[in-house]
Chains A and B, each alone.
Chain A
Amino acid sequence: MGIVSPGFHGRRRQGDVKLPPGQYLTDDFPVLSAGPTPRIDRDEWEFVVTTETGDRRRWTWREFRALPSETPTVDIHCVTKWSKLGTTWTGVSLDTLLADMDTAADHALARSYGGYTTNLPLEDLLDGRAWLAYRFDDEDLHPEHGGPVRLLVPHLYFWKSAKWVHGLDLLTQDEPGFWETAGYHDYGDPWLEQRYQGD
């Protein structure tokens, strides 16, 4: 630990709200950015699932929006230490999208417009725990927050909730994504504080 600066507290958790270890509460919605923001026309947008055998399933915007949607209210936890509680999204459950896929895969790699990737166990995308979200707080999802569509996997650190999601590769072997190949944890459970490799 460094030299303690007298009177410095930093951004702290407030009150008795239960937050994952090391997180502080924020009311705004910080925008993280690791590159230029892609602007994707909905007419151009598509979502593509590719299985381990190379089979592909593709949804256009119109097809995607014709699927039944849900409106989950969830807490989100960013690895840069902010947490935001009670966020409301509208999206399509991955259970719906993956229902008919014939796969023996255990792993998934989400791919985004702009080149971002992140890996997750396939089971973490199922059972009502993950969505393709297209609305936030009753408004169309803004590009800076990943619109038109982002992955939403709130039980893991928010870098797993890929912005500008374009597709999902279903894999029989784990393939680390953008941050996971640069020192971040493969799984990223905020309650276990799995920030970095080795945590």
Chain B
Amino acid sequence: MARLAETRDETPTARTLVLDVPGWPGHLAGQHVDVRLTAADGYSAQRSYSLAAAADGDRVELTVQNVPDGEVSPYLTGVFAAGDPVEIRGPVGGWFVWRPDAPAPVTLVAGGAGAAPLMAMVRSRRAAGSRVPFRLVYSVRTPGDRWYADELRRPDPGVEVFPLYTRAAPDGWPRPPGRLAKGDLAAWAWPPEFDPACFVCGPTGFVEAAADLLVALGHDPRRIKTERFGPTGG
């Protein structure tokens, strides 16, 4: 069982939940948890959320995007209050993970809410003192949709962040708004010759497109790991 310790708003519609989970066994960056909500009459609903922070004792963090007509996210981002209990199961998933002892350079490609497990990788790298070079390509609709914006703006030697806007960019931004294109990844992802580990996370269509672009640029499909969010959000 977990209890909500505190919250941080990432955007007007996305909130990070900091949970205390006594006896938490630790986790790897990229793993997720299943959150189960149960009503007083026994009705229950379950969703998966990526762990957004590095392992840190009994504390874990999730970032939840509020889906207005959703069933679980409006509760977690609106009603759920400090001290409230919640049932979580995990950590789960041992494939879409980055281990701090991995020596290869890392390309992270995030679409929208797909930033959460990739942020966990950035934070785990920092926590472990790894000097493996990271590049994060982060696609969002508008500047206001960026999660972890302040933290990613702060210097973090060896981590380069490339925001990409699909609908509206800040004034003077050199790249016009538009979907992730081959040229973006050619410019910002580590080239295939470096044999980087690639992690791609986001909505299914975004992940499909990004993974195809990486393959088209010459990346070994076996070095590309993906995590697609399905249609059942909320």
Count A-B contacts at CB 8 Å: 47
Q: Which of A1-26 contact B (CB under 8 A)?
A: 1-12
Q: Which of B66-113 contact A (CB under 8 A)?
A: 71, 75, 79-80, 84-87
The answer on a CB contact under 8 Å between A11 and B71 is: yes
The answer on a CB contact under 8 Å between B45 and A6 is: no
The answer on a CB contact under 8 Å between B1 and A10 is: no
Cα A12 to Cα B43 in complex, Å, equals: 9
The answer on a CB contact under 8 Å between A5 and B75 is: yes
List the B residue with the shortest CB-CB distance to A22.
B43
Cα A12 to Cα B1 in complex, Å, equals: 25
Interface size class of B (residues with CB under 8 A): 10 to 19
Q: Does B42 contact A (CB under 8 A)?
A: yes
The answer on a CB contact under 8 Å between B84 and A10 is: no
Interface size class of A (residues with CB under 8 A): 10 to 19
List the B residue with the shortest CB-CB distance to A33.
B231
Q: Which of B31-39, B162-170, B173-181, B212-220 contacts A (4 or more CB under 8 A)?
A: B31-39
Cα A10 to Cα B42 in complex, Å, equals: 10
Cα A33 to Cα B42 in complex, Å, equals: 27
Question: Interface readout for B23-54 with A: 1 if CB under 8 Å, 0 if not?
Answer: 00000000000001111101111000000000
The answer on a CB contact under 8 Å between B87 and A2 is: yes
Note all chain A residues with C-beta closer than 8 A to B75.
5, 7-8
The answer on a CB contact under 8 Å between A8 and B79 is: yes
Tell me, rounded to whole Å, the shortest Cβ–Cβ distance linking B43 to chain A. 5
Residue of A2, A3, A8, A11 with most partner-chain B CB within 10 A: A8
- Tell whether A2 pairs with B38 under 8 Å between CB atoms, given A10-B43, A12-B43: yes
- Tell whether A3 pairs with B39 under 8 Å between CB atoms, given A8-B75, A8-B79, A10-B44: no
- Tell whether A4 pairs with B71 under 8 Å between CB atoms, given A10-B44, A10-B45, A12-B43: no
Cα A5 to Cα B43 in complex, Å, equals: 11
* Residue in A2, A6, A7 whose CB lies within 8 Å of B44: A2
Note all chain B residues with C-beta closer than 8 A to A1.
38, 42, 44
Chain A interface (Cβ within 8 Å of chain B)? 1-12, 33
Chain B interface (Cβ within 8 Å of chain A)? 1, 36-40, 42-45, 71, 75, 79-80, 84-87, 231
What would 29 A/B residue contacts be, using CB atoms closer than 8 Å? A1-B38, A1-B42, A1-B44, A2-B36, A2-B38, A2-B44, A2-B87, A3-B38, A3-B87, A5-B37, A5-B38, A5-B75, A5-B80, A5-B84, A5-B85, A5-B87, A6-B85, A7-B75, A7-B79, A7-B84, A8-B38, A8-B75, A8-B79, A9-B39, A10-B39, A10-B43, A10-B45, A10-B71, A11-B71
Q: What 3 pairs across the A-B complex have the smallest Cβ distances? A: A2-B38, A7-B79, A5-B37
